[in-house]
Amino acid sequence: MFTLPELDYSYDALEPHIDAKTMEIHHSKHHQAYVDNLNTALAGKDDLLAMSIEDLCQNLDKVPEDVRTAVRNNGGGHYNHSQYWKYMIKDGKALANEELQKDLEATFGSMDGFKEAFAKAGMGRFGSGWVWLIQDGAKLTIVSTPNQDNPLMDTEADLANRNILLGCDVWEHAYYLKHQNKRADYLATWWNVVNWETVAQNYKK
């Protein structure tokens, strides 16, 4: 069975950038529903229930067709949100990894250039989805995925050489109470709570 992870911080920790009510609903209702629906979809399928959520996302072809869409949506929702909570922390945490900083600057021109490209990808996602910073081989790349998909599900990619560093939820439920329709405002203020220590830990040299 999959379970809802606890947050490392309180629901109001990310104020004023992300409000407490949004965090509470997002974690205790939305994420909980992905977990519950995933467990329901996989009821009785003990081999699949025993997989890690990463493995499940990477092996959707092993999921019976009649529940594959439910597992894709809710398994993706569970993986994505479990990561998203870890990408954030009260007051943010600065990037202290020189190698990653140099890589970001070389790839995107500057740190601001990286943030602009990330926001552009988030703004370019029509409807609901996610924007990610990944390492594709040795190269830092920004990608966006629809719904609750994530880069682990891209079976065309060489997953052995693919690594997710950071991801941001651009579903309206992540920002609507505070920022209403202004996704750009959410994406701009989000950097204030990003835990760059987590991003640096995810970075593979």
Residues that bind Mn ion (CB under 5 A): 169, 171
Minimum CB distance to Mn ion smaller for 26 or for 140: 26
Residue 12 contacts residue 27 (beta carbons within 8 Å): no
Residue 124, number of CB atoms within 10 A of its CB:
11
Closest distance to Mn ion from the beta carbon of 1 (Å): 21
> Are 142 and 121 contacting, i.e. CB atoms less than 8 angstroms apart?
yes
- Do residues 172 and 16 make contact, with C-beta atoms less than 8 angstroms apart? no
* Least spacing, CB of residue 84 vs Mn ion, in Å: 7
Residue 106 CA, chain-centre distance (Å), reads 24
Q: Which is nearer to Mn ion, 108 or 186 (CB)?
A: 186
CB of 109 to Mn ion, least distance (A): 30
**Least Cβ distance, residue 114 to Mn ion (angstroms):** 23
**38 in Cβ contact with 2 (< 8 Å):** yes
Task: Name the closest residue to Mn ion (Cβ).
Answer: 169
Query: Rounded CA gap, 101 and 205, in Å?
Result: 12
Q: Which is nearer to Mn ion, 130 or 196 (CB)?
A: 130
- The answer to whether 22 and 174 have CB atoms below 8 angstroms apart is yes
Name the minimum Å distance from CB 63 to Mn ion: 22
Of the pair 18, 89, the CB lying nearest Mn ion is at 18
- The nearer residue to Mn ion, 193 or 200, going by C-beta atoms, is 193
